[in-house]
Amino acid sequence: MALEHGWQIRELLHADSRHLSDWARRTLDTVPAEKIAVTRELMHELGGKADTVPELLAVVAIADDDLRRIPVGPTMYVVVFDRPTSPGNIGNLIRSADAFGASGVVVTGHAADVYDPKTVRASTGSLFALPVVRVPTHQAVLSWVAGIRADGIDIGIVGTDEHGDRVAADHDFTQPTVTVIGNETTGISAGWRAACDQLVRIPMVGSASSLNAATAATVVLYESARQRIGTHLPHSRPVP
């Protein structure tokens, strides 16, 4: 996915080339990066999986944390994850955002690392397919939103909250939207809450009092995609 989406590959590590697949050999031959042969034992250790030795490991340049990487326009849909503490949740949210057509993901405040190995793995490559930007405070996003509005795009900010005054399905997500997902424990911050034009909730009928943050984001992302694409989402590829 990193190769497919044009990320800069700085180095490629590989073990004994006699056991490489055609894909791995072709990658080594065609990618303009430094090639480094290492022992199988080191590849196993660096790969981080108990029962698998990777064919290749790539050192990839991290993209700039610049909100201008996110495409702006009348169909834009951006997800903000406020102060997430779990790398796995960040990766899962990025994967859902990619699957349901978001324009980008923004992680605000003191948060887990977007490039933590657990985040990268949980995203299943979507981290490389979608602009994901880290910013220190919500104010940076609000300034960016103000600039978009000044250019004539009426983008709204919607927060998710279990006490939101509107069910998510009743909100119009066909308009340009920033959806804010709160911290796993404390929800969205006071600053984000004040900045939101609308707070929406996900109706629940069971005994659970709340949803995992990434799961809640997925529900809202699906609703947004359902409204934007139509009642039935296209099934262009199977969901594992």
Burial bucket for residue 183 (CB in 10 Å: 0-12, 13-18, 19+): buried
Percent of the chain with pLDDT over 70: 94
Please tell me the predicted confidence (pLDDT) of residue 240.
42
Residue-wise pLDDT for 135-173, tens only, equals 999 999 999 999 999 999 999 999 999 889 899 999 999
Is 174 a residue whose pLDDT tops 80? yes
> Amino acid letter at 6?
G
pTM: 0.90
- Indicate where the chain has its CATH 3.40.1280.10 domain(s): 67-229
- Within a 10 A sphere around the Cβ of 30, how many other Cβ atoms? 9
**Buried/exposed 155-181: b ≥16 CB within 10 Å, e otherwise:** bbbbbbbeebeeebeebebebbbbbbb
Please tell me the predicted confidence (pLDDT) of residue 209.
66
Highest mean pLDDT among 13-17, 152-156, 201-205: 152-156
- Quote the CA–CA distance of 90 and 214 in Å, as a whole number: 7
Is 24 a residue whose pLDDT tops 90? yes
Residue-wise pLDDT for 96-131, tens only, equals 999 999 999 999 999 999 999 999 999 999 999 999
Confidence band for 49, pLDDT divided at 50, 70 and 90: confident
Contact between 1 and 128 under an 8 Å Cβ cutoff? The reply is yes
- Indicate where the chain has its CATH 3.30.1330.30 domain(s): 9-60
The torsion defined by the Cα of 92, 44, 35 and 132, in degrees rounded to 10, comes to: 10
- Quote the CA–CA distance of 73 and 51 in Å, as a whole number: 45
CA dihedral for 187, 193, 196, 198, sign (positive or negative): positive
Please tell me the predicted confidence (pLDDT) of residue 124.
95
Confidence band for 19, pLDDT divided at 50, 70 and 90: confident
Residue-wise pLDDT for 212-236, tens only, equals 899 999 999 999 999 998 644 444 4
Helix (H) or strand (E) holding 9: strand 9-14
Report the phi/psi class of residue 207: left, alpha or beta, with left for phi > 0 and alpha for psi in -120 to 50. alpha
CA dihedral for 75, 160, 182, 86, sign (positive or negative): negative
CATH topology for 9-60 is 60s Ribosomal Protein L30; Chain: A; (3.30.1330)
- Quote the CA–CA distance of 26 and 223 in Å, as a whole number: 41
Greatest CA separation for the chain: 62
Contact between 94 and 174 under an 8 Å Cβ cutoff? The reply is no
- Quote the CA–CA distance of 61 and 9 in Å, as a whole number: 6
Residue-wise pLDDT for 64-93, tens only, equals 999 999 999 999 999 999 999 999 999 999
Token pair 């990839």 is found at: 60
- Within a 10 A sphere around the Cβ of 212, how many other Cβ atoms? 15
CATH number belonging to domain 67-229: 3.40.1280.10
